[in-house]
Amino acid sequence: MKYDPTSLDGGLIRRSTVPANTVRATPRPAQFSLAANYDPELVPALADYPVDEVYGKFPTDGVSGGRPRYLATPLTEADLRRYIGLLDQHGIAFNYLLNGACFGNREWTRAGQKQVTALLAKLGEVGVRRVTVSTPFLLELVKRRFPEFKVRVGIYAQVDTPRRARFWEALGADAITLESFSINRNFRRLAAIRQAVRCDLQLIANHVCLLNCPLQTYHQNGFAHASDDTGTLFVDYCLLRCSRVRLTDPSQFIKAAWIRPEDIAAYEAMGYTTFKLLERGIPSAELLRRVKAYSEHRFDGNLAELLLSYGFKEPIRKESLWTLRHFWKPRQANPLRLKPLLDLARLQGMLSPLPECPIRVDARQVPENFLDGFRNRDCASIDCQACGYCERIAAQAVSISPEYRSEVLRKYADMEDTMATGGLWGV
């Protein structure tokens, strides 16, 4: 199979490397991988934009994923079959996520092997032809037993160097999502990775994770174990901590390595033409807003509306008895001590709509030449306090409701205190 950057699947060649001096074909225009909320009414609207695929997974399937169970959108096998059929009518693929960073060693058991094999067979029956993994053995398993699947390596594999990219391509990866949290603005590294491999390389465009996040490994492993319905209480300590950091230091909203819609062309020129847009389960109007902005390479409003996974004017669909199902665990923790956590969820619009987003990142206050400030900087190697570039932009562009900030920070402090002292568990 020859490399064809204009084909729908990229014409991807596996087990190959590309010499540094290789001249590439002109890259295809940007395509987008969009988070699923399973709203059938959204699908026809997506057909007006270059949406190549939609990604998601069952709320629980026995195979670890990249989000805790309580964030899952209700979905049955029949729902997924109908949804994939509708996507297919509009030329959009579905990418099923098997992207947990850890499987609790279940992959080395007979029961675990049967479970993942049965799931992959079921996915094939409902029309899935693309999957995302984050562990090398699962990639090999899929390629050996289900060669009809195209396999993307997820961000939790932390591919951030040419050497790592070559490893996964040689293992059989058709596509790789790079470790966007850290290298989206490291242009020397991005160029080197793009030259090193032939497979499709994807960047996450609209995340707001802390730059070079020190919580990343802990967070993704916590998600992996919280993605199945084990009945165990999961408190997202990492989200609490990083959200508090952003409210305390608003410059973190600028330092996070998201990509502006206006800057997509700069990445296209480097050979990056596939971009992932977050977040799963959010209202259709918000997903469409994100697709439109990035497709048109332009957005003049509040960038927080493209970046955050909460704070919307419409409700996020959840299963019935959501709070009781996921947080009423009296044998594991004191439910009364969880009240600050639920208060935080309400304040941030995770449980109910908000009239407006309390956090604003004004796109008009971000300099037109924003990326130029990073082209000769290695942000991982310098002290932000000595640089000050993002701080200066944040002073103009970022504003947070004082009342919201004060109340949320107080709730964070209450929650962190009850966890650190053991009060949450009565120990």
Predicted pLDDT at 28 = 73
pTM for the whole structure: 0.91
- All structural domains of the chain, each given as residue ranges with its CATH number in brackets, are 31-309+359-400 (3.20.20.70)
Q: DSSP letters of 28-53?
A: PPPEEEEE----TTTHHHHTTTTEEE
Predicted pLDDT at 424 = 94
Residue 214: C-alpha distances to residues 209, 210, 241 (Å): 10, 8, 11
Torsion angle (degrees, nearest 10) of CA 360, 361, 364, 365: 110
HSE-CB of 280 using CA atoms within 13 angstroms: 21
Predicted pLDDT at 323 = 87
Predicted pLDDT at 26 = 52
Predicted pLDDT at 15 = 35
Angle at 343 between CA 356 and CA 337, to 5 degrees: 170
Of 314, 226, 291, nearest to 35 (Cα)? 291
Q: Which two tokens stand for residue 393?
A: 């932009």
Those residues of the chain that have pLDDT short of 70 are: 1-27
Predicted pLDDT at 350 = 84
State pLDDT tens for residues 119-150. Answer: 999 999 999 999 999 999 999 999 999 999 99
Instruction: Give the SS3 label for residue 202.
Output: strand
Predicted pLDDT at 27 = 60
